[in-house]
């Protein structure tokens, strides 16, 4: 049965099931071109991994897989290092705050609820918006209508003080919005065990008006450093990083992503976004259902520690 014991999660798991699950999420990541942390952590929770361990350990997987992404975009000169530095500085500060919040909620026994509620909110909102946009794009494509142009008007980032030039992105904007976005993503990364790219990328495109071609590479810089910081803080302060589980996730995710990239080349962008939206929204609804449904076992008895 390939059953192994996870020392930090304090539970036995089927290694083959973990590998297949991480492989499936890796496949989705390669298929749609986004990180799968927002799917992997809930799936680990469905498999019986404590939410605190699932969130912290998934950050370790995201850190390892982000390295190759940063290198690939750097070689193609599609990274705005100045913007990435601002986002990273704020993200590191946010991750410190997030880990402290995580530890405080863990101390009072409410960290599992915090993680679950965070996922229900973000997945439901983002999944719903993505599904709405993708269905509209498919309808326009079916009618032969051209896609709507994204407006390049001035936003709040262009009007606030402390402006700075970002040559790689062709922007002259205030540093305050990037710092605020980076900080919020750092907190989210620490609490939810995700890289935050599913929030960071839309924010960079629609709030900062960054060119799409440099957004992914720049966001990966912040994701890599912030998630690495989260792993170190979680391992030393909350001791919720399970290296055995992380190893299984990394192996399965890398293999699955290779197949996902090949399959993604055969599907249109609109269909890929619709698939991702359905997965995100479905996961959020499943977590919300688990919150309100009566559990099969009302009490769990265990040996005292």
pLDDT of residue 147: 56
The residue extents of the domains of the chain are: 3-148+173-290
Nearest to 239 by CA among 56, 38, 18: 56
CB-based contact 76:228 (threshold 8 Å): no
Report angle CA 213, 256, 284 to the nearest 5 degrees. Answer: 75
CB-based contacts of 177: which residues, under 8 Å, 6+ apart? 156, 157, 160, 207, 208
Evaluate the CA torsion angle 161, 166, 169, 175 in order and state its sign.
negative
Q: How many CB atoms lie within 10 A of CB 165?
A: 11
In whole angstroms, give the CA distance from residue 222 to residue 11.
32
Q: What is the mean pLDDT of residues 138-158?
A: 66
- How far apart, in Å, are the Cα atoms of 31 and each of 6, 36, 126, 305? 30, 11, 18, 44
The string of pLDDT tens digits covering residues 168-214 is 888 888 889 889 988 988 888 777 766 677 677 778 877 888 887 78
Phi, psi of 259 (to 5 degrees): -70, -35
CB-based contact 52:237 (threshold 8 Å): no
pLDDT of residue 195: 65
The string of pLDDT tens digits covering residues 18-58 is 889 888 877 776 665 566 677 788 888 888 888 888 888 88
pLDDT of residue 305: 45
Is the pLDDT at 299 greater than 50, yes or no? no
Torsion over CA of 199, 249, 16 and 119, rounded to 10 degrees? -30
Torsion over CA of 22, 24, 25 and 31, rounded to 10 degrees? 140
Which region among 14-18, 129-133, 158-162 has the lowest average model confidence (pLDDT)?
129-133
Determine how β-strand 163-166 pairs with β-strand 171-174.
antiparallel
Is the pLDDT at 297 greater than 60, yes or no? no
The string of pLDDT tens digits covering residues 60-98 is 777 776 776 677 778 878 788 888 889 889 988 988 898
The string of pLDDT tens digits covering residues 84-137 is 889 889 988 988 898 888 888 878 877 777 777 877 887 787 777 777 877 777
SS3 readout for 31-69: HHCCCCHHHHHHHHHHCCCCHHHHHHHHHHHHHHHHHHH
What is the DSSP-derived secondary structure letter of residue 267?
A: S
pLDDT of residue 31: 63
In whole angstroms, give the CA distance from residue 96 to residue 91.
9
Is the pLDDT at 304 greater than 70, yes or no? no
């Amino acid at each position: 049965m390939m059953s192994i014991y996870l020392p930090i999660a304090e539970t036995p798991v089927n290694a083959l099931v973990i590998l297949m699950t991480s492989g499936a999420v890796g496949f989705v990541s390669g298929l749609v071109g986004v990180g799968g942390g927002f799917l992997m952590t809930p799936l680990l929770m469905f498999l019986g991994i404590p939410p605190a361990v699932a969130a912290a350990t998934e950050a370790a997987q995201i850190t390892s897989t982000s390295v190759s992404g940063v290198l690939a975009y750097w070689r193609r000169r599609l990274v705005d290092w100045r913007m990435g530095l601002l986002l990273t500085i704020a993200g590191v500060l946010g991750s410190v705050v997030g880990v402290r919040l995580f530890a405080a909620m863990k101390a009072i026994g409410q960290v599992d609820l915090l993680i679950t509620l965070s996922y229900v909110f973000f997945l439901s909102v983002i999944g719903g918006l993505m599904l709405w946009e993708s269905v509209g794009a498919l309808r326009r494509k079916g009618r032969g209508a051209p896609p709507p142009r994204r407006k390049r008007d001035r936003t709040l980032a262009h009007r606030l003080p402390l402006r700075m030039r970002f040559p790689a992105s062709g922007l002259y904007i205030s540093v305050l919005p990037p710092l605020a976005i980076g900080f919020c993503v750092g907190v989210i990364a620490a609490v939810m065990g995700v890289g935050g790219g599913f929030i960071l990328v839309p924010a960079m495109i629609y709030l900062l008006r960054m060119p799409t071609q440099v957004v992914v590479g720049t966001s990966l810089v912040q994701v890599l450093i912030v998630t690495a910081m989260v792993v170190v803080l979680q391992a030393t302060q909350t001791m919720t990083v399970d290296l055995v589980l992380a190893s299984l996730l990394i192996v399965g995710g890398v293999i699955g992503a290779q197949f996902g990239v090949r399959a993604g080349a055969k599907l249109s962008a609109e269909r890929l976004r619709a698939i991702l939206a359905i997965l995100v929204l479905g996961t959020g609804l499943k977590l919300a259902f688990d919150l309100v449904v009566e559990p099969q076992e009302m009490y769990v008895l265990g040996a005292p520690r």
